[in-house]
């Protein structure tokens, strides 16, 4: 491709409000343009990268036996009602009504449609299957941001495994795990596989692939001395024991005027109310059910854990008036002692604790001497605590790290939820009916592209890894009016193109400085600069983008210097 004829609209300045490096650079380097919040056009350079990502994914998923489909992006509401997700997906699902008055959804994911297709399978002999597609997804994200990292319309490779047994699912899951590692390695990404929450998908095992980056929206907990790696939404850690008295008298009410926080109570009553001797009483509406959630005073609730535990779709903190009406006090003086008409969920760190302090459900009053087992009607115990940096690993006691990551891929064991809902039932070898055991596996294409840029750029621009670069090499002509230069450039262009390289020939009538800066910005891994002076002795400059090192090499040796 000749640069003079290519559409590569590079910009001098960063776009407004673009903080993420990938957003700034993909926009400035002419790879993407925003149509509206969360909707981006891929310009020719962006599309070249996207196609390579697409091809690598297809090669690796085909390599584990995948068969490519292409499903509709718009689905009838009935399908989503069958699985129960018409309600569950809430505002994140785009919905529209057609001229006949029927409800439709724009697909956020395709478990329902694939399970519906799988309902045509009747015998175990037709299993296992591995089905996939590379298709547009629509999600009305609350906060589209960071260029193509979080958008409302994006391309996903989504695959679905179909097996007769859970053992079969385990095998397909492991094969996917391997394929994902190869895919991200070929993208040039260091993607770490971490334990994850399954969220609204349902299912059991769930692993996310995370790329370390401050532009990420997930927090990851890792142990430096063992294999423990988990999303913060799921992570646990050791909780050192606190020693309590062997027995305590009845709870006793004491006045705490104006005291509303854990810290203030600890300051005012240091002998009895250190934060780890307090019960923090949080109040939530879980699908409309008023629920008390108890944490140790110095521990934070991880909301996703609460959501995973209860399966609640609509999770929100209760409002002051709702709380006052049911408990008789306002936040700051709340507690669960004596509460019997609302569900109480407590974090495991409170189990068997004695001599604690909690709110008395009367403004400006607290209770001391609380024995959790004796005084509180806990309905459910669970791990709800959010891990903090530098806590100890539950596996080997190592000091935990906490870092931000971009989720580029996610694999889950779905089980039989969707096959049961859609009637994907087969006869096993004994003629018994069994729901198909499913797995589901996703990778975001544009987010992967952006993650590559986050992981691989410098002040001058993008540095594309070899397998996903839009071009392998740019030939920059100095003095494009010099005939010998033009001829040498054309010759090299043809030689490299014939050898299978993708070459961009910068024949624009621009100053060398502009050409160099543009080549650096768009991030092509190698630049060959041809000018009249070098030509006299048959050499060109060879610049490696990642290091910006330049050497002189004979023109005929250029191909040998490329990977």
- For ligand ATP, the binding residues (CB under 6 A) are 109, 139, 141, 150-151, 154, 156, 407-410, 442-444, 446-447
The residue among 163 and 407 lying less far from ligand ATP, judged by its C-beta, is 407
What is the DSSP annotation of 186-216? Answer: HTT--EEEEE---GGG--S-EEEEEEE-TT-
Q: How far is the CB of 112 from ligand ATP (least distance, A)?
A: 14
Q: How many C-alpha atoms does 132 have within 13 Å on its Cβ side?
A: 26
The residue among 151 and 394 lying less far from ligand ATP, judged by its C-beta, is 151
User: In this structure, are residues 287 and 314 in contact, taking their beta carbons and an 8 Å threshold?
Assistant: yes
- Whole-number Å distance between alpha carbons of 357 and 366: 7
Phi, psi for 92 (deg, rounded to 5): -75, -15
The residue among 355 and 442 lying less far from ligand ATP, judged by its C-beta, is 442
> To which residue do tokens 């929450």 refer?
197
The residue among 131 and 542 lying less far from ligand ATP, judged by its C-beta, is 131
Token reading at 489: 């450039």
> To which residue do tokens 């009637």 refer?
423
Q: How far is the CB of 413 from ligand ATP (least distance, A)?
A: 13
The residue among 3 and 441 lying less far from ligand ATP, judged by its C-beta, is 441
The residue among 191 and 558 lying less far from ligand ATP, judged by its C-beta, is 191
Evaluate the CA torsion angle 344, 348, 351, 355 in order and state its sign: negative
Q: How far is the CB of 522 from ligand ATP (least distance, A)?
A: 22
Q: How far is the CB of 152 from ligand ATP (least distance, A)?
A: 7
Write down the H helix ranges in 43-126.
44-63, 77-83, 85-88, 111-118
For 458, the 3-state DSSP assignment is strand
- Whole-number Å distance between alpha carbons of 81 and 140: 19
Q: How far is the CB of 184 from ligand ATP (least distance, A)?
A: 11
Indicate the helix (H) or strand (E) that contains 402: strand 401-415
CA distances from 161 to 79, 156, 183, 218, 436 (A): 20, 16, 18, 27, 9
The residue among 184 and 493 lying less far from ligand ATP, judged by its C-beta, is 184
- Whole-number Å distance between alpha carbons of 41 and 27: 10
Q: How far is the CB of 450 from ligand ATP (least distance, A)?
A: 8
> To which residue do tokens 């050898």 refer?
499
The residue among 17 and 481 lying less far from ligand ATP, judged by its C-beta, is 17
The residue among 232 and 367 lying less far from ligand ATP, judged by its C-beta, is 232
- Whole-number Å distance between alpha carbons of 301 and 295: 7
Q: How far is the CB of 66 from ligand ATP (least distance, A)?
A: 16
Q: How far is the CB of 19 from ligand ATP (least distance, A)?
A: 16
Evaluate the CA torsion angle 238, 242, 248, 252 in order and state its sign: negative
The residue among 269 and 412 lying less far from ligand ATP, judged by its C-beta, is 412
- Using CB positions, name the residue nearest to ligand ATP: 444
Q: How far is the CB of 171 from ligand ATP (least distance, A)?
A: 21
Q: How far is the CB of 151 from ligand ATP (least distance, A)?
A: 4
User: In this structure, are residues 28 and 14 in contact, taking their beta carbons and an 8 Å threshold?
Assistant: yes
């Amino acid at each position: 491709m000749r640069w003079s004829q290519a559409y590569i609209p590079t910009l001098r300045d960063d776009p407004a409000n673009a903080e993420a490096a990938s957003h700034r650079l993909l926009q400035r380097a002419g790879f993407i343009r925003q149509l509206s919040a969360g909707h981006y056009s891929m310009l020719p350079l962006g599309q070249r990268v996207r196609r390579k990502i697409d091809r690598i994914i297809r090669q690796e998923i085909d390599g584990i036996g995948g068969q490519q489909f292409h499903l509709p992006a718009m689905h009838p509401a009935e399908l989503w009602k069958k699985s129960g997700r018409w309600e569950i997906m809430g505002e994140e699902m785009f919905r529209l009504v057609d001229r006949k008055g029927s409800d439709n959804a724009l697909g956020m994911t395709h478990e329902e449609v694939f399970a519906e297709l799988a309902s045509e399978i009747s015998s175990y002999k037709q299993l296992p299957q591995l089905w996939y597609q590379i298709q547009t997804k629509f999600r009305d994200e609350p906060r589209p941001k960071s260029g193509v990292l979080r958008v409302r319309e994006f391309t996903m490779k989504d695959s679905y495994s179909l097996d007769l047994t859970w053992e079969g699912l385990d095998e397909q899951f492991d094969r996917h795990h391997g394929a994902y590692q190869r895919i991200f390695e070929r993208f040039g990404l260091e993607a770490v596989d971490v334990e994850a929450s399954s969220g609204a998908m349902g299912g059991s095992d769930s692993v996310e692939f995370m790329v370390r980056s401050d532009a990420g929206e997930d927090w990851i907990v890792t142990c430096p001395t063992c294999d423990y790696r988990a999303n913060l939404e799921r992570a646990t850690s050791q909780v050192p024991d606190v020693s309590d008295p062997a027995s305590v008298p009845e709870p006793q009410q004491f006045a705490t005027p104006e005291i509303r926080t854990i810290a203030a109570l600890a300051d005012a009553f240091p002998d009895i109310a250190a934060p780890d001797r307090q019960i923090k009483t949080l109040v939530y509406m879980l699908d409309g059910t008023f629920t008390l959630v108890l944490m140790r005073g110095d521990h934070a609730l991880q909301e996703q854990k609460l959501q995973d535990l209860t399966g609640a779709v609509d999770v929100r903190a209760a409002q002051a008036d709702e709380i006052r009406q049911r408990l008789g006090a306002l936040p700051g003086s709340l507690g669960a002692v004596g509460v019997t008409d609302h569900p109480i969920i407590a974090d495991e760190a409170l189990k068997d604790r004695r001599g604690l302090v909690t709110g008395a459900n009367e403004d400006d009053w607290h209770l001391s001497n609380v024995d959790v087992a004796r005084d509180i009607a806990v309905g459910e115990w669970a791990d709800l605590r959010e891990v903090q940096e530098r806590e100890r690993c539950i596996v080997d006691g190592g000091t935990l790290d906490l870092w931000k990551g971009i989720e580029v891929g996610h694999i889950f064991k779905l089980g039989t939820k969707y096959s049961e809902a859609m009637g994907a039932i087969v006869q096993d070898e004994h003629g018994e009916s069994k729901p198909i055991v499913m797995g589901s596996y996703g990778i975001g294409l544009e987010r992967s592209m952006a993650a590559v840029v986050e992981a691989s750029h410098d002040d001058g621009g993008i540095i594309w890894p070899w397998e996903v670069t839009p071009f392998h090499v740019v030939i920059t002509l100095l003095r494009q009016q010099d005939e010998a230069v033009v001829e040498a450039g054309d010759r090299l262009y043809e030689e490299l193109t014939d050898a299978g390289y993708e070459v961009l020939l910068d024949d624009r009538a621009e100053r060398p400085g502009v050409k160099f800066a543009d080549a650096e910005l768009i991030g092509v891994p190698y630049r060959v600069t041809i000018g009249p002076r070098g030509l006299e002795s048959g050499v060109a400059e060879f610049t490696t983008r990642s290091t910006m090192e330049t050497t002189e090499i004979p023109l005929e040796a250029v191909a040998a210097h490329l990977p």
